[in-house]
Each structure stands twice: as structure tokens, then as C-alpha cells.
Amino acid sequence: MDYPEFKGRTAMITGGASGMGLLSGKKLAEAGANVVLCDVSKEKLEAAAEEIRAAGGSVLPLVVDIRHYAEVEQAERKAVETFGSVDILLNCAGGMSGRCCNCYKSFEELPIEVIDWGLDVNLRGAIYCCRAVLAGMMKRKRGVIINFGSVTGEEGGGGASLDYSAEKSAMRGMTKSLAILGAPHNVRSCCVIPGPVLTRPGMANMKTLLGRAAETIELVDFILYLCSDKAAFITGSAHVIDGGHLLVR
């Protein structure tokens, strides 16, 4: 699909230096959007930004730790100062705390600092980002917020993924609430719930009805659709994209 409406709009993307965040940024930039990539890795951000610039895209890389509201707020301000608005927010940053902290213990033995990392990045950080951009979107009478859930939040997860399941299932409720709050101001919110995606090799082994994991572009194409004017009547909804993973018994 062509998305001429993205030209001149600005997308703020957390976890923007890799995976679905980075590919979403590239595709939005190709469509003419200004892209604000937020991530904790300066080195990866600079490489990602250079790649987008080399392709003719407009990009602003910002080192941001979404666990700290002051940094998130500053990123939103810098985006508005540079491009005039934030029209799209993609809350891509996140990950299972045990894997990201290299601590594969069962929940009852998981160190509290590992659980806190998951709560801060997967839930608190997403809430912070929504808080930072929402007032501006409401004032400008335009905006789209995409939150990322996970099939783990749909099916539950024991062991080291219990906290991750709770954090990701919360994205449904937050999305609905944002949709209710934003509707009178033409601000939409949707939740994307990925199953196995080939952003990591381990995902390839997860079972699906279709017998494979998704290519990253298969998720990103749908995300761009939700952000576009073609999806102007879609808000408050959660969209499972899992190749039938939840149906496998």
C-alpha cells in the first residue's frame, strides 16, 4: 500500500534501534514520515539513523531510557521542537525480564530487581510514553498510539515469564482506556499482539498452525496500516498476529 498521508507526520518509536521498531522506522521514513528513534543503545541508534539518512529519510536518534519519565518527556519535547509534532507513537521497547537480564529462574525465585526491570520497561515505560505524547496529540486533534502486547500475555506464562505475561496483558486495558480518552480528540489507540517473529532465532521454534514464525515485515506492514488514515475507524482493538499459535494444542 501507498501511504501519502505519512508525509510530514512524525513517528516516535521506542526500541527503535532494532527489530520491529527499526523496520517500522525505515518503512515510515520511506513513506515520508519524520522518524524519532528512541533506544538505550547509542551505537545502534547511530547506525540505524545513518541507514535511514542514506536512504533519504528524515530521522532523529535519541538515547532514551523509558524507565525514567524525565527522559521520555524530553524526547517528546525534542521531537516537537525538531519536527513540530508527534503524530504516531509505537511502543516497541520491551522484552521478557529473565531473558533480557540473563536470569532464567522460575518466578518464585526470580530476583526482585529482575522483576522490577520488566515492570519498568514493559509497563511503566509504555505508560510514560503514552503520558508524554497524549496531551499534544489531543491538542492537535490527531494521533495514533500503537501498544505492543504478546501472545504470552494471552496464554499466560509460568516459570520466568510470569511477570512478562502480566505486563503484556495489561496493554489491552491501556489501549482501550486510551481509545476512550482520545476519541473526542481524533486520537486512536490499538494493540498489536505478536506471536513468534523472526527478530530472534529462538522464535523460529515456537509452534504455529502455519508451521513457521512471521517475517518481521509481516508485522510491520500491519502496523503501518493501523497508523494510516485507511484505518481511521479502528481504535481500542487488539490484533493477534500469531500464525495460529494460540490455536495449537
Helix (H, G, I), strand (E, B) or coil at 232: coil
Domain ranges of the chain: 4-247
- What is the distance between the alpha carbons of residues 245 and 247, in angstroms, rounded to a whole number? 5
Give yes or no for a contact between 46 and 61, defined as CB atoms under 8 angstroms apart: yes
106-141 pLDDT, tens digit per residue, is: 999 999 999 999 999 999 999 999 999 999 999 999
pLDDT of amino acid 44: 97
Residue 203 pLDDT class (50, 70, 90 cuts): confident
In Å, what is the CA distance from 54 to each residue of 50, 51, 87, 111, 147? Answer: 6, 5, 24, 43, 29
Q: Which CATH class for the 4-247 domain?
A: alpha beta
Of 104, 128, 164, 225, catalytic: 164
Q: 21-56 b/e with 16+ CB inside 10 Å = b? A: bbbbbbbbbbbbbbbbbbbbeeebbeebbeebeeee
- What is the distance between the alpha carbons of residues 6 and 57, in angstroms, rounded to a whole number? 12
Backbone angles phi, psi at 64, to 5 degrees: -140, 130
pLDDT of amino acid 1: 72
Give the residue-averaged pLDDT of 226-239.
98
Report whether pLDDT(202) > 80.
no
CB atoms within 10 A of CB 149: 24
pLDDT of amino acid 64: 98
Alpha helices in 84-215 (DSSP H): 97-100, 112-118, 125-140, 151-155, 162-182
This prediction has a pTM of 0.96
Active site annotation includes 164: yes
Helix (H, G, I), strand (E, B) or coil at 37: strand
